[in-house]
Structure 1
Amino acid sequence: MSRLRLSRGWLPAAAALGLGLAALLRSSAGAQSPWSLLPLEGARRTGTFRDPRLVENSGVIPSRTQPGILWTLADSDGPARIFATDTLGEDRGSFRLRGARNVDWEAISAGRCEAGICLYVADTGDNLEQRQSVQLYRIREPRVDSLGREPRTSSRVERLEVRYPDGSHDVEAAFVDGQGDVHLISKGRTSGFRHYRVPAGAWSAPATVAQPLGVLTIEEGRSLGRLVTDAAISPNGRLVAVRTYAEIFLFHFTGRGTLRPAWMGCRLAGLELQGEGVAWLDDSTVVLTSEGILGMPGTISLGRCSSTSS
């Protein structure tokens, strides 16, 4: 589950003050940091999730084949379904993953697969960092016009069991690169923001060990909420956005599959109560999703985040 652990008394205060946490994060950037985090350009809230099952929304990805459609999912212990929506948050139907279990679904991505374009679901959340293995699921992207109010069931769901070579990690961020490799980034609870890769060829076996690719150069700040909640690769494959509760850090995606800091990013102060998901609508526009909190539904927001200061 991705819910930020704060005392009950703090939450109403945060709402009333317009995300005091985000303001703290902004002020903590400090002159010593090599990162230049600018306000998200043109930031605007475009909608809220109409489906009550998405109160604990966790992750978002635009459809590669159906313009205007966003895919999302619910957090731990939620239904083993993916949900179709749009930037207004309209309910466009849901799709059940046959045989899948939602232990702690945290991210949804899209990428190449043998069937064409697939949706990838990362069941990789692990708050206590004690799961011996986690799961990746993938299905061919469904057609939204075939969905009704009652959830349809997928005809084929692929499942891959994944272990980390260095123990258990809480992972909420995942993206799929142009080669079909799945990239996972740890939340940063205990040992930095660790980057792993699951090669596309791993799906030919039932289980695999993720390949470690290093630790991201983001200053840790758990006490201020700097925990990674999602990541996404741009349509041109050049930039990766790594988001926390109130920031986006941009990285260049290298030919080796590693992430090189762009040293640029965006602040999300005051835009969301509990930011979770990020995806690219184009090579500079991001869509952001937030969980619902304090009885309010989760939100969808848009803005531009560039790797240049111009």
Structure 2
Amino acid sequence: MRRSEGITRGARAAVTAAALAVLAPPGGAAANPSPGPAPATPVCEVRDSRLTEISGMAATDDGYVVVNDGADDEARRRIFFLDPRCAVVRTVSYPSRPRDTEDLAVGADGTVWVADTGDNDRSRQTVAVWKLAPGTDRPVLYRMAYPDGPHDSEALLVTADNRPVIVTKYSAVLYAPSADLRPGATTPLAKVGQVRLPASTTSNPFSALGRTAVTGAATAPDGRRVVLRTYADAFEFDVADGDLIGALTGGTPRVTPLPDEPQGESITFSADGRSLLTLSETADQPAGTWPRLLRYPLTAGATPATPRATPEPTARAAGDRAGSPGGVAVASVVAAGGLGLGLVVVAVLVLARSRRARRR
């Protein structure tokens, strides 16, 4: 998600209040708290002016691979290879302009997959993945189409048999190609499941809304674990017999809080599989703020949280159209049968007015 305008304190508070009113469990009980934050260890800083909107990352044996959010600036429309100290050592350009690159994964054979699936306005007729085979310098484009209309998606996984799995941002619905991908063709996607993310109370810049938006995903090097992240937390699932879809739809995750990252959209397992690594966008941070690669210890043995259903939204809010987590508020109202509708409408109007004022 590219956040072109900031959210004022008043607007954010209004939207958060609306979301809390809608998402509160019956009887007013508080959501299950997340476990205490595990301390993050800074690894390195990405000191390159082209990489302030990092939205996807994967660890490799000799460093990292990252991509930027969006495609407005030609210098940023590349796949970037970093060394262990986060310095750029190589870039690969796309043969044509991508629409909105949002995540990245590396397959078991070393192929780099880039998810060109961002769609803040939910207006794209097709989404795509780019595949960069090992030893090549020209990514290949594969187009796909949802069976039920556009979705905004910022997370990508690749199965053991090299099948891409797209995770929608709002409600964590899983889609995968229904046939083999072919260059020059549009492959239909099929809905293959939905993830039930646990409730959370982890502090983050988007408050309640940031705890529900899926912004990244990754698979462990041995294929036995998979992780989804929001702006607030990482949810790690165990994968049995290579069944990634079954793990996400039927498993109960361990939770690693990722508190107060500026705009956390990237996650990967370390190359040795012993920790989680994250990066945040810093485009809206004070000048001189560089993206920091953070290392979080895995929460092996932690008590899993209680899953909570996250229905697919059926309406758009002004905040969702602008690419912010504000769209979750309206989606939650529809799923809850209209509870708190008035409060949410007021909140969204405040948010939209704030953005219009900032543009002027």
Structure 1 275/234 Cα, relative in aligned 2: closer, same or farther at 3 Å?
Answer: same
Structure 2 counterpart SS, 1:224: helix
CA distance, structure 2, for counterparts of residue 212 and residue 220 of structure 1: 24
Structure 1 84/183 Cα, relative in aligned 2: closer, same or farther at 3 Å?
Answer: same
User: What number of residue pairs does the alignment pair up?
Assistant: 275
Q: Is the contact between residue 250 and residue 261 of structure 1 (CA under 8 Å) also seen in structure 2?
A: no
Q: For residue 294 of structure 1, what is the aligned residue in structure 2?
A: 285
RMSD after superposition: 3.2
Q: For residue 93 of structure 1, what is the aligned residue in structure 2?
A: 90
In the alignment, which of 173, 180, 197 is matched to residue 201 of structure 1? Answer: 180
| Counterpart check, 1:132 vs 2:121 | no
CA distance, structure 2, for counterparts of residue 264 and residue 220 of structure 1: 12
| Counterpart check, 1:43 vs 2:40 | yes
| Counterpart check, 1:224 vs 2:209 | yes
In the alignment, which of 98, 102, 105 is matched to residue 101 of structure 2? Answer: 105
Q: For residue 158 of structure 1, what is the aligned residue in structure 2?
A: 140
CA distance, structure 2, for counterparts of residue 88 and residue 155 of structure 1: 23
| Shift of residue 50, structure 1, vs aligned partner | 1.2
Structure 2 segments unaligned to the other structure (5+ residues)? 201-205, 304-360
Q: For residue 307 of structure 2, what is the aligned residue in structure 1?
A: none
Structure 1 segments unaligned to the other structure (5+ residues)? 14-19, 143-153
Return the structure number with greater helix share.
Answer: 2
Q: For residue 265 of structure 1, what is the aligned residue in structure 2?
A: 255
Deviations 1:49-101 (A, max 9, x none): 111111111110012xxx2310001111243311111453222231212x232
| Shift of residue 263, structure 1, vs aligned partner | 3.4
| Shift of residue 9, structure 1, vs aligned partner | 4.9
Q: For residue 303 of structure 1, what is the aligned residue in structure 2?
A: 296
Q: Is the contact between residue 265 and residue 306 of structure 1 (CA under 8 Å) also seen in structure 2?
A: yes
CA distance, structure 2, for counterparts of residue 40 and residue 220 of structure 1: 15
| Shift of residue 131, structure 1, vs aligned partner | 0.7
Identity %: 27
Structure 1 counterpart SS, 2:251: strand
Deviations 1:116-158 (A, max 9, x none): 421011110001111111111101135xxxxxxxxxxx55432
Q: Is the contact between residue 37 and residue 264 of structure 1 (CA under 8 Å) also seen in structure 2?
A: no
| Counterpart check, 1:169 vs 2:157 | no
Structure 1 counterpart SS, 2:107: strand
Q: For residue 269 of structure 2, what is the aligned residue in structure 1?
A: 280
The letter of the residue matching 1:274 is Q
The letter of the residue matching 1:51 is D
| Shift of residue 237, structure 1, vs aligned partner | 1.3
Structure 1 95/227 Cα, relative in aligned 2: closer, same or farther at 3 Å?
Answer: same
Tell me which moved more, 118-127 or 243-252.
243-252
Structure 1 209/302 Cα, relative in aligned 2: closer, same or farther at 3 Å?
Answer: same
Structure 1 4/42 Cα, relative in aligned 2: closer, same or farther at 3 Å?
Answer: farther
Q: For residue 191 of structure 2, what is the aligned residue in structure 1?
A: 212
Structure 2 counterpart SS, 1:201: coil
TM-score by length of 1: 0.78
Q: For residue 70 of structure 1, what is the aligned residue in structure 2?
A: 64
Return the structure number with greater strand share.
Answer: 1
Structure 1 276/199 Cα, relative in aligned 2: closer, same or farther at 3 Å?
Answer: same
| Counterpart check, 1:80 vs 2:80 | no
Deviations 1:156-196 (A, max 9, x none): 432110111111110100011211111110000xxx21111
Structure 2 counterpart SS, 1:283: coil
TM-score by length of 2: 0.68
Structure 1 304/200 Cα, relative in aligned 2: closer, same or farther at 3 Å?
Answer: farther
In the alignment, which of 165, 169, 177 is matched to residue 187 of structure 1? Answer: 169
CA distance, structure 1, for counterparts of residue 127 and residue 183 of structure 2: 17
Q: Is the contact between residue 291 and residue 298 of structure 1 (CA under 8 Å) also seen in structure 2?
A: yes
CA distance, structure 2, for counterparts of residue 68 and residue 156 of structure 1: 21
**Structure label with greater radius of gyration:** 2
The letter of the residue matching 2:257 is R
The letter of the residue matching 1:129 is R
| Shift of residue 291, structure 1, vs aligned partner | 0.6
